[in-house]
Structure 1
Amino acid sequence: MLDPRRTTGITRDSMTENIIQSMAHHIAVIDQTGKILIVNSAWSDYTRFNGGDPDETGVGNNYFDVSDKETVRQINMVLNGTADRIVIEYPCHAPREKRWFAMNVTPLRDAGQRKIIGAVITHMDVTDRKLLELRQQKDLDMAKSIQKRVVIDPVEEEHIKIKGFYLASDQLSGDLYAWYKLNAHQYGVILLDIMGHGVTAGMMSMAIRSILEGIITDEIEPEKVYRKLNDQFHKLFKSGKGYKNFFCTGIYMLLDINDRIISYVNAGHPGGVGVSGKESFILKSNNPPIGLSKEPVVISNKIQISEHTKVILYTDGFTDSMGLRITEGEQFILQEMRSNDQIHDHFEQIVSNLDIKDDIAVVSVSFD
């Protein structure tokens, strides 16, 4: 088909034709107008076996006549030199099975490699990869659904309100939060940010989430909670290959609504921002991230609060998505807290309008 003249020896053109015909991918060559100049056996066989008309997609026909406008537009980008290559994935299901293909279009140049005289169109069967992606997506959707179901209910009592929300930059979030009523007047509140994002961070956060309640309700005090969580982090993630450098940052607060004291540890995390009456405070980092050291020195702090206290804990995805540095983020949050009483709804609205660059989690606490 490449050269209708037949010779007894192997010529360059006949060798090229033999190579094209032997390829398993479906191949066609078109000229600048879309006219089909060459097709290989795989191209013709697929059309015939799947109920198509070879007369419409064979040599001499125009490929643009059987293509949609967008496909024609993109092929013309290759033909006019504005694109070196295009790849379009599309479904092309057979009567008895589902199939997906990737169309790869590259320019065909003249002998001097200067002028584009046409294009080579290759259709590759990507069904196995597509089916795998669909199965993985189904698994991810299930994991995402489970992660949403285990989100803890807000606390809305007479003297204290605790709420949280998160948005994942990928299918699963590596951020997590939880709070537990420890007794009639104390609550434990924690926010953690697993290194990275996506599936790995999401699965790690689920593993940690399953042990948080036991740790916080048993240990209660900030230093003890940090140490226990650090121990468990090493047991869960430091024994296998590839986990040596995994860690998480976070803040744990012990809230005493009778004595009006916030005791906390900050493990390498952005400082929580608080407003108490006319005063403000930052729960600054005073400990290494959880999981970095097997026997860390742990320091906790206490803050005496007054009436009408509000606290915002957040992961760095919030300030990163806003393009703010740490101190800029603290000042922005403080300003917003001072001008809005409904801090939870207000910050959820702010986050919903962001172009998210990383997982974001926000926890709000209000004391009356």
Structure 2
Amino acid sequence: MSVLIIGGVSNDVLRLQKYFHRIDIKDIHCFTSPDAAMNYLLDSLKEELELIILDAKLTLKNCEEICQQINRLINWIDVPILLATTYEKTITIDRVFEAGIFDFILKPFDFTQFKTRIQVATKYQNEAKLRRQQESMIQKDLIVAKKFQKNALSPPLNLEYIQIDGLYVTSNTLGGDMYCWFKINEHLTAILLYDAMGHGIAASLVTMSVRSLLKGMITNLIDPVTVIRELNRQIYELFSDEDMDRFLMTAIYILIDTKNRTLHYVNAAHPAGFLFGKYGETVFLQANTPILGLFPTIPIIKKTIPLSGWHRIILYTDGLLTLNKQHNIDMDFFHSYASQENSYALQKFSQKYNLFDNDHSDDITVVSITITLQGR
């Protein structure tokens, strides 16, 4: 353990050193001022510091000056600071605690009191160090978990008549967004975008648990009503014993049939997607089914839209609504890039809002689908 004592050359500083030796702490560094300590204490020694004693004569006149010294020390290093002083006025005691000291050592020094104060500060510092180490490990695990979740997203799909790509921007915590798509056969392609309500590890676990079920569920059941019914049942049964508000899910499932030139979809309480036509017409894929996971069975409504020629579909999660104060979607932007490839349009959208340079409170996910029934 390494200790820093800041104070003028005096009997009090010498006595503090003597007391530290009595409790078997011998790695002691002494400087006359905070500036001297910060300027001349080597970085290698600074990393070993676990405690600072600021020896000062505290008065009403110099209270603010001492508080400034404390602030500089706190900004310099995160360890407990103990103020050794004789002054006990309430107004100054409150002020230096506000400035950030951990405790007092009152003069004239008493060894028993000194030992107790140092033991409490040392215990706090050890616990704080352990907590920081644990938080660092958690942050590393979260980074790995984010990468794992991102790797579960479907890669871009390029078929003769359908092209699909997605944009996924992680929040500052783990989130619940996920998208996937599957080519079922020569004519059928299925797309699912869903969002587990809530944030953090719990939402991510729900998302990944559901993701593991989807390939078999979608490729075997195919039909939107059947898929959403089974998805709702799985969510309800998997998480019905927990806090239900944390494990509900919104979803939009689309089945594109290029042979019959139709689009079938079910929107389970998810933000409305929109479909652009060749001549600028827009169709909203509104919610038509309750949220998933609240009840074991729910009424499910499938909508069918005829397709002709070229279409661009934009799906998204509610994190997109946080990008502006109006909490709405800039459809004009997506429409203006409708003639571009999906990946290019999504790239321009991310650049417009600097999505990858800012922290976000929620995941931001956008899926862009282009249908060209006349072929490429």
TM-score category of the 2 structures, normalised to the smaller one:
0.7 to 0.9
CA 1:217–1:109: 2 relative to 1, 3 Å: farther
Partner of residue 336 from structure 1, selected from 333, 336, 352:
333
Identify which range, 217-226 or 127-136, moves more after superposition.
127-136
| Amino acid of the structure 1 residue aligned with 2:187 | H
Q: Which has more helix, going by share of residues?
A: 2
Contact 1:27–1:43 (CA under 8 A) maintained in structure 2:
no
Identify which range, 132-141 or 40-49, moves more after superposition.
40-49
Q: Aligned to 1:67, what secondary structure does the other structure show?
A: helix
CA 1:64–1:349: 2 relative to 1, 3 Å: same
Q: Aligned to 1:236, what secondary structure does the other structure show?
A: helix
CA 1:282–1:212: 2 relative to 1, 3 Å: same
Aligned to 2:36: 65
Relative to the length of structure 1, the TM-score reads: 0.73
Q: Aligned to 1:129, what secondary structure does the other structure show?
A: helix
RMSD across aligned C-alpha pairs, in angstroms? Answer: 4.0
The Cα of 1:87 is off from its aligned counterpart by: 9.2
The Cα of 1:134 is off from its aligned counterpart by: 2.6
The Cα of 1:234 is off from its aligned counterpart by: 1.1
| Amino acid of the structure 2 residue aligned with 1:260 | R
Using the alignment, how far apart are the partners of 2:182 and 2:366 within structure 1?
17
1:93-143 superposed Cα distances (whole Å, 9 cap, x missing partner): xxxxxxxx6345899895443457967456623222122223223322322
Structure 1 residues 134-149: aligned runs within 5 Å: 134-149=136-151
The Cα of 1:269 is off from its aligned counterpart by: 0.8
Q: Aligned to 1:337, what secondary structure does the other structure show?
A: helix
Q: Aligned to 2:291, what secondary structure does the other structure show?
A: coil
CA 1:127–1:320: 2 relative to 1, 3 Å: same
Structure 1: 5+ residue runs without aligned partners?
1-23, 92-100
Aligned to 1:205: 207
CA 1:217–1:41: 2 relative to 1, 3 Å: farther
Using the alignment, how far apart are the partners of 2:18 and 2:236 within structure 1?
55
Aligned residues: 319
Partner of residue 235 from structure 2, selected from 233, 236, 248:
233
Partner of residue 363 from structure 1, selected from 362, 367, 370:
367
CA 1:295–1:80: 2 relative to 1, 3 Å: same
1:176-211 superposed Cα distances (whole Å, 9 cap, x missing partner): 000001110111100001111222211211111100
Q: Aligned to 2:344, what secondary structure does the other structure show?
A: helix
Contact 2:63–2:96 (CA under 8 A) maintained in structure 1:
no
Q: Percent identity?
A: 28
CA 1:338–1:244: 2 relative to 1, 3 Å: closer
Q: Aligned to 1:289, what secondary structure does the other structure show?
A: coil
Aligned to 1:272: 273
Aligned to 1:250: 251
Structure 2: 5+ residue runs without aligned partners?
41-45, 47-53, 55-61, 104-120
CA 1:169–1:79: 2 relative to 1, 3 Å: farther
Contact 1:311–1:365 (CA under 8 A) maintained in structure 2:
yes
1:113 aligns with 2:90: yes
| Amino acid of the structure 1 residue aligned with 2:171 | S
The Cα of 1:157 is off from its aligned counterpart by: 1.8
CA 1:106–1:213: 2 relative to 1, 3 Å: farther
1:269-310 superposed Cα distances (whole Å, 9 cap, x missing partner): 110011011221110011111112221111110111221200
CA 1:48–1:205: 2 relative to 1, 3 Å: same
Higher relative contact order (CA 8 A, sep 6+): 2
Structure 1 residues 77-96: aligned runs within 5 Å: 79=65, 88=74
Aligned to 1:18: none
Contact 1:189–1:253 (CA under 8 A) maintained in structure 2:
yes
